[in-house]
Structure 1
């Protein structure tokens, strides 16, 4: 069903979607005096009617990649030369769409927000970290001077990251892993204890190791006349203890084999112990932010309370460690060593949850930097009372400014934020402030829907 409301203007634009991003773009276009045909879930004949006469540009702003792909193809079929801006998260789908439709420009709010969220995580004065010509540049904005973009040096960050990863090896973060390590440690202790006893008694190292291994395997030491009664008692106790430790180890192995294995014991998917960034909320924005930070050499760990969330599977395929739990839980934050972390980023889809996580983080580690995602609840995104909680980034405003610039013919290459200002990056490398209208200026979708 479509909702169409035309207002007098110099140009006509079509916006498809009932998201908050679509409402923001629609409201901003109308405030500029343009005619906007805003469709929520148009059928084929409704889309064809909206495309006559041919609009200046079309924006397909949906959460569903499949639906966005379908509408983009339909628009291209109706108006072959009409510029299209579409939001698609999956990069494979985005690349294929670009190959099929040269007039289409593909982006996603998560992709636009990742550099803007990563910057404050690594420095209070960094508005964004952008990749340009094979190097990383830190974008800084001041209230007095112009925007500056300088090369960012990551040596100290990477050194601290290596130390944090090394310290995170063989660290249990769930019950199954703790059971596995307890069983393994118990069997290893039994082996070393038996070996030391035999070596102290004058046995040959090879024979001592053989007997110690037999004890751990619960088959008993080889028969030898020089084994004392005390050793026989020790070997019996160790064998009985090994039965228990072996059972614990087996249970832990089964738990890890059958479970999702979101955190590794060794390797890159272990939870770092220092110099890391904790990302709460493994949705599209959280996944993109983790990828951006890892590309910069910063260790990350994700937190997601829903173990069946789609982002969990994607994070596992990307090698990102994820702990299941609530980001506002003090136990979880302490377990992730928040006081040793470089920053915490609360980037869930619910602004109120992000605020709750920020408050909990300040209670656990007041000195740790906090970055909040906002934009779904307009009052929360705009209020200055959130500033003491951390750096607030309105993802919808960032995406709306970028999409709006592309629709109006400005070949924007990026977008950044500073306080309550949104700036669009131009091809020359300069940044231009881009005003936006409040999404309540869109009369097509009466109720704001959470992303």
Structure 2
């Protein structure tokens, strides 16, 4: 396995492949930073620290010491190559000609595309996993690279043709559902696998006389007790009890007083975003004529009608002709009534005065219309009576995806962004989401976002210090506001979580790392499996994946109850579609053929495909890794 990258995701992915799947990994990382050069979060110093390696002078490509293993297994060390970018020469040095899979996870889409094309030229049968933010471009690139792979009939070292595929993933898309679900302060966690929404519900133990609500299956027993409203997110085995993943029914029944994570419902996301876009564009049209201007125009119209009636009554003229003369007098384009009767002269003077009053009204209407149309492309401000919303801090790659996810779930959002040219600003403008421009570490922007009436704060900037400072200020304004922090360093995230929970025991606190949520999906794709989604359970992750029974000899001819292994994996659904009608994965196929209430006595056949929830270690074992 070859991993090419320059940020934290590359380190976590290499660690995942090395420690969980026991693969030989070559990591292509940037050179050591110079003083005052590359930031720590994107340097090889950061990558080395995440892999648990001591920084020491060594030659290019020198093998690294293996990590300790409780079972006594000593994996092959990770090999590191220092290079600013994975050029064709670097890929040759890394052994791309004979590799089974290669992941390109640079932070720049163009760099990833360039490296992927070079890797496909070197090895047409290489299994590629590419990190791209642009969805449409990623789909076209995957089709192009798969077409190039189909030209060659044989793969290196016997790699099957079906395994030489191209998978395009986005860390932002992978992590956005979990971040959005954490911000919805109810009891639900939401994970999206393209068209699917999996709802994992945290439940408290039922009281005396209460009946436990049934669910599809119990995913985990949490380490927190019922008197801890914040849960044990962020702990690492330091809670009153360690979390128990994928327990059997007997263990769940015996676990009295422990909170559980239950898979309760599976629904499909609806197309709510386009309807809101149309509503947002129609809103400025209602502001063309405000109420005061409308009353002024109504008063002028009433005076014109009264003058026309008075002229017709005093002169005996036809009402239509009298109205025509009144309008001419109103706009000062009629002939002077010098030789007419006195009533006609008086009415002409009054009409002229009314015309003078009409002129500023027309100017005000024009200025109002101009301001309304200019405001159609401007950012909305938070409404005065807004409450119960989510304050989203940061509209970068991750923040943009989370904003889209929250709006699809009909959650009111107010964004805070310092950069007016940020990636998510056009999306917020198109969706009509209020945006406050300013530094979130200052008091003004968060107060303008009405943090004192918000239900949660999502701090998703790329700076740990900014996210922490904004969260601390939000807690001083509203002590019980829910806080979801995006923090890069796991040790720092754990310390912050424990401190915030100790200071505010009644408030909900969550700490999330985008790379931690995304790395299992990237690793599963490199192993030849598509991970549908991931549910964070405290500081661990449960993976949802589609598995062919044909590829699992231990599944064929056995019942579902016999196949399930507590703490490792559990079958939760069966794909009832015919094998020739299935897509390459459940993300692109229809969900109408999924049977979620699967009987434990169902005997699995070779042609079946099942959806299972598994731990990372259990998923690695199912892939045939020892």
Correspondence for 2:7: 19
After superposition, give the CA deviation of every residue in 1:219-266 in whole Å (9 maximum; x if it has no partner): 479998597999889958845753773575266257447xx43449xx
1:139 and 2:224 aligned: no
* Alpha-carbon distance in 2 for matches of 1:343, 1:169: 29
Correspondence for 1:191: 297
* Alpha-carbon distance in 2 for matches of 1:148, 1:23: 31
Correspondence for 1:373: 486
1:105 and 2:105 aligned: no
From 377, 382, 386, the counterpart of 2:494:
382
1:294 and 2:394 aligned: no
**Structure 1 residues 23, 197: closer, same or farther in 2, change over 3 A?**
same
* Alpha-carbon distance in 2 for matches of 1:154, 1:235: 61
Correspondence for 1:121: 183
1:83 and 2:144 aligned: no
SS at match of 2:9: helix
- Counting matched residue pairs gives 395
From 421, 428, 433, the counterpart of 2:615:
433
**Structure 1 residues 349, 225: closer, same or farther in 2, change over 3 A?**
farther
For the 8 Å contact 1:62–1:68, the answer to whether it is kept is yes
After superposition, give the CA deviation of every residue in 1:356-384 in whole Å (9 maximum; x if it has no partner): 33234334444443322222x44433322
- What is the 5 A alignment of 1:26-425? 26-31=14-19, 34-40=23-29, 41-51=85-95, 54-102=98-146, 103-130=165-192, 136-140=197-201, 142-143=221-222, 144=258, 147-151=261-265, 184-195=290-301, 219=331, 235=354, 238-239=357-358, 242=361, 245-246=364-365, 248-249=367-368, 252-253=371-372, 255-256=374-375, 260-263=377-380, 273=386, 276-316=389-429, 319-321=431-433, 323-326=435-438, 328=440, 330-338=443-451, 341-375=454-488, 377-383=489-495, 384=497, 385-387=499-501, 390-409=509-528, 411-425=530-544
* Alpha-carbon distance in 1 for matches of 2:98, 2:187: 45
- In the alignment, structure 2 segments of 5+ residues that lack a partner are 30-84, 147-164, 203-220, 223-257, 311-318, 338-342, 547-570, 572-610, 618-626
* Alpha-carbon distance in 2 for matches of 1:214, 1:272: 44
> What TM-score do you get using the length of structure 2 for normalisation?
0.52
For the 8 Å contact 1:168–1:271, the answer to whether it is kept is no
**Structure 1 residues 263, 203: closer, same or farther in 2, change over 3 A?**
farther
For the 8 Å contact 2:191–2:533, the answer to whether it is kept is no
For the 8 Å contact 1:58–1:407, the answer to whether it is kept is yes
After superposition, give the CA deviation of every residue in 1:101-156 in whole Å (9 maximum; x if it has no partner): 34112211111111101212224422324368x6643113540466422227899x
* Alpha-carbon distance in 2 for matches of 1:149, 1:49: 46
What is the CA-CA distance between 1:94 and the residue it aligns to?
A: 1.4
For the 8 Å contact 2:190–2:197, the answer to whether it is kept is no
What is the CA-CA distance between 1:43 and the residue it aligns to?
A: 1.9
**Structure 1 residues 248, 151: closer, same or farther in 2, change over 3 A?**
same
**Mean Cα deviation higher: 15-24 or 137-146:** 137-146
> What TM-score do you get using the length of structure 1 for normalisation?
0.70
For the 8 Å contact 1:15–1:37, the answer to whether it is kept is yes
* Alpha-carbon distance in 2 for matches of 1:18, 1:135: 31
**Structure 1 residues 249, 72: closer, same or farther in 2, change over 3 A?**
same
SS at match of 2:98: coil
**Structure 1 residues 272, 105: closer, same or farther in 2, change over 3 A?**
farther
When the two chains are superposed, the root-mean-square deviation of aligned CA atoms in Å is: 4.6
- In the alignment, structure 1 segments of 5+ residues that lack a partner are 1-12, 172-176, 436-451
SS at match of 2:424: helix
**Structure 1 residues 245, 366: closer, same or farther in 2, change over 3 A?**
farther
**Structure 1 residues 413, 400: closer, same or farther in 2, change over 3 A?**
same
* Alpha-carbon distance in 2 for matches of 1:365, 1:166: 32
SS at match of 2:126: coil
Correspondence for 2:593: none
What is the CA-CA distance between 1:62 and the residue it aligns to?
A: 1.4
SS at match of 1:115: helix
After superposition, give the CA deviation of every residue in 1:396-429 in whole Å (9 maximum; x if it has no partner): 1111222233334554221121222222223244
